Chains A and B, each alone.
Chain A
Amino acid sequence: MPTDLHRNDVRRMAEGRAQLVEVLSQAEYEQEHIKGAINIPLRVLGRETVSQLQKDRPVITYCHDYQ
């Protein structure tokens, strides 16, 4: 079960080994995203697109806000 995180946890983990993934559209990602995040839009999230992520590292997903 995915764990919800507060901003401070995200900061700490992102400074370590965590991988930040913005799941909004490419257009929204290009406008603005968290520094260091990669983009995998939810509508294309699948076996092929997640191959750029490492399974032995934490993954943190985010979108705009509480959506």
Chain B
Amino acid sequence: MSARAAWRLETLGFVQVFRYTAGKADWSAARLPMEGELASAPRASTLLRRDVPTCSLTDQIGDIKKSVEQTDWDLCVVVNNERIVLGLLSGEALQGDSLAEVKTRVEDVMQPGPPTIRPDLLPEDALEYMRKRSTILVTTSDGELLGLLRREDAEQAVSRAG
């Protein structure tokens, strides 16, 4: 839409025309100044937990299990060097204790392509995506991990607003 508008402006005689391709979702996600009725409303970006553990495809499950056990988390997000989400480790994938299991590579047992939401989502809308989930990953539209939203945090935000 912004592309068509930019092209139209050129036909109307404007010569310095630019397009902010990522739009206000990107601006809001970066917590830059916004105005309007919902500008100060909580968003996934303001409610998410940023300290969620991460690992890489080639890590071994045993190492990841040990590091996750030292946190309050029971999952680990699989990312690449650019923090793009590639998968998720949780549940049974982090339970195994046998030698074969601890030597297993992350990429062999991760859940590929876990669902994600965008950071500008209102908590009530985020809950729609979380009907059967207690957590959901929050990423940019490019897939970069920003954090994880817990259902309880979204529900509390909705409750406070109501």
Contact = CB atoms under 8 A, between A and B. Distances in A.
Interface string B103-137: 00000000000000010000000000000000000
Nearest to B35: A35
Given A53-B14, A59-B9, A65-B26, A5 B20 contact: yes
Contacts of A45: 5, 8-9
Contact of A23 (B5, B28, B34): B5
Nearest to B118: A65
Size category of the binding interface on chain A: 35 or more
A23 to B, nearest CB: 4
Interface in B11-38: 12-28, 30, 32-38
Interface in A16-32: 18, 20-24, 29-32
A67 B35 contact: no
B26 A7 contact: yes
Contact of B18 (A24, A50, A60): A60
Contacts of B28: 32
Interface of B: 1-10, 12-28, 30, 32-39, 118, 141
Interface of A: 1-7, 9-11, 13, 18, 20-24, 29-37, 40, 42, 45-47, 50, 53, 55, 57-67
26 contacts: A2-B3, A2-B9, A5-B18, A5-B19, A5-B20, A24-B1, A31-B37, A32-B28, A32-B38, A33-B36, A34-B27, A34-B32, A34-B35, A35-B32, A36-B35, A37-B35, A42-B4, A55-B15, A58-B18, A60-B20, A62-B24, A65-B26, A65-B141, A66-B21, A66-B141, A67-B23
